Amino acid sequence: MADQPPIEMSLAQHGTWRVAHVRGDLDLATAPHLESSFEEPDGHVALDLAKVRFIDSSGLRALVSIREHQARVVLIAPSPVVQRLLSLTGMTDAFPVASSLAALDSME
């Protein structure tokens, strides 16, 4: 198995939503990259976390920081590891969840 980069992220626009598609590990080494992409207020932000295979407290801190800087933050189809961390930390109510990118249209 070839080495995979710890995180891959691409940004896109979907209607009024700025969307980050995140793949890989969201941890101490990679969370600052995600967080720095959303330091300036953009309004509506959607984080596609379906392909996040690991998240630690640094990743959670990045999500909370993004939430504090943006008008609205929605998680798209968070992976089981993300869902588990949100549940364990009591943060499930802090982040609305959309089942897919298309589901964002009904959340505007």
Residues 6 or more apart whose Cβ sits within 8 Å of residue 68: none
pLDDT at 108 exceeding the cut of 80? no
Closest CA to 58 of 81, 26, 85: 26
- 78-93: per-residue pLDDT in tens? 999 999 999 999 999 9
The encoded tokens of residue 50 equal 């379906």
Residue 62 has what pLDDT?
A: 96
| CATH architecture, domain 7-96 | 2-Layer Sandwich (3.30)
